[in-house]
């Protein structure tokens, strides 16, 4: 069984945990428990759920204060660009998170998009753990330092212009609606889920898309919807 030293990661992120088990739990992928069922901690998906919400709140608050003249639609687009799995995977790489994540041997071999999703989910779980252990002020500082610093790049490269953002702009202008997304189906083994997401205009399902994460599936659904409404 892999032994890890959470203290090394604490140095990388500049956060010292009171409860070290919370940090270790945030790094425990579901697949690891399949190989080591006696591992004393749960997998990180509950922390990922919490961290996702905390991340969105802090980023929303920062954007709200920074861009006082931006309408809701523009703020939503910028937030989506800052919290997408590709940006979060880069954040994870920057703090050396990959070598601390507890994965099965099979998952360690994943590359490309699957690897990015694992890294993005783990950084959200770490954010959830920081919030529980150290509170909103410390986790806000972490997010400002490692996530919000990507804002300049996002604005410069206009990487916020993804399919979801483009669809939102078109639909808000033409229909005065904001597209929403909902899970239509989940398939595959627990550690390697495939999500099918639907894009809705109001209550109307207009397109769907699939991917290894909900974010990825939402982007695919938005691309499909754009083909119909562009």
Catalytic residues: 52, 124
Nearest CA to 54 out of 142, 171, 168 is that of: 142
In angstroms, the Cα distances linking 116 to 22, 48, 98 are 22, 15, 10
Token pair, residue 217, equals: 């599936």
3-state secondary structure of 212: coil
Gap between the Cα atoms of 55 and 150, Å rounded: 14
Under a CB-based contact definition with an 8 Å cutoff, are residues 194 and 209 in contact? no
Please give the DSSP secondary-structure letter assigned to residue 27.
T
């Amino acid at each position: 069984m892999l032994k890890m030293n959470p203290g090394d990661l604490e140095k990388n992120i500049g956060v010292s945990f009171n409860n070290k088990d919370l940090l270790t739990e945030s790094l425990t992928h579901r697949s690891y428990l399949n190989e080591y069922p006696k591992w004393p901690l749960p997998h990180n998906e509950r922390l990922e759920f919490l961290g996702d919400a905390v991340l969105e709140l802090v980023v929303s608050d920062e954007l709200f204060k920074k861009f006082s003249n931006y309408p809701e639609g523009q703020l939503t687009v910028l937030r989506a660009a800052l919290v997408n799995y590709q940006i979060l995977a880069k954040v994870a790489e920057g703090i050396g998170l990959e070598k601390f994540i507890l994965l099965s041997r099979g998952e360690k071999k994943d590359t490309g998009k699957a690897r990015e999703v694992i890294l993005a989910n783990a950084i959200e779980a770490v954010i959830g753990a920081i919030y529980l252990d150290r509170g909103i002020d410390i986790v806000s500082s972490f997010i400002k330092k490692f996530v919000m610093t990507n804002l300049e790049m996002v604005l410069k490269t206009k990487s916020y212009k993804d399919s979801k953002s483009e669809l939102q702009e078109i639909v808000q202008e033409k229909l005065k609606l904001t597209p929403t997304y909902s899970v239509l189906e989940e398939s595959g083994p627990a550690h390697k889920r495939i999500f099918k997401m639907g894009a809705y205009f109001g209550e109307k399902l207009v397109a769907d898309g699939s991917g290894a994460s909900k974010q990825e599936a939402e982007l695919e659904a938005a691309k499909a919807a754009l083909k119909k409404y562009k």
